[in-house]
């Protein structure tokens, strides 16, 4: 029976989809993130990563191999005014 339990609400990813991917060789959080966009929604993984780690353990991945997602902050800080369309020195 398929498990329709939603693991990632932001990206609408089910437990079945994740288990299938894990069984087909995607056995780490980073690979699953890239394949399913898991953890890239508004919550940035705060709601789904604990459940994903549990699924990986249940599928036989050693706990020592379950690493957190790689954080990728911007290369350089961008002033908020740049996103508002303001020119440098001008208030948005």
pLDDT digits (tens, 9 = 90+) for 17-65: 999 999 999 999 999 999 999 988 898 888 899 999 999 999 999 999 9
User: Which domains does the chain possess?
Assistant: 6-67+74-83 (1.10.10)
Buried b (16+ CB within 10 A) or exposed e, 1-40: eeeeebbbebbebbbebbbebbeeebbebeebbeebebbe
Q: How far apart are CA 27 and CA 25, in angstroms?
A: 6
This prediction has a pTM of: 0.71
In 10 A of CB 56, how many CB atoms?
A: 22
Q: How far apart are CA 29 and CA 56, in angstroms?
A: 8
């Amino acid at each position: 029976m398929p498990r329709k339990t939603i693991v990632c609400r932001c990206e609408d990813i089910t437990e079945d989809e994740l288990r299938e991917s894990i069984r087909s060789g995607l056995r780490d959080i980073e690979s699953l993130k890239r394949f399913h966009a898991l953890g890239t929604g508004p919550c940035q993984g705060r709601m789904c990563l604990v459940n994903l780690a549990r699924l990986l353990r249940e599928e036989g991945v050693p706990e020592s191999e379950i690493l957190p997602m790689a954080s990728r902050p911007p290369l350089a800080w961008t002033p908020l005014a740049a996103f508002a369309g303001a020119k440098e020195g001008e208030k948005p």
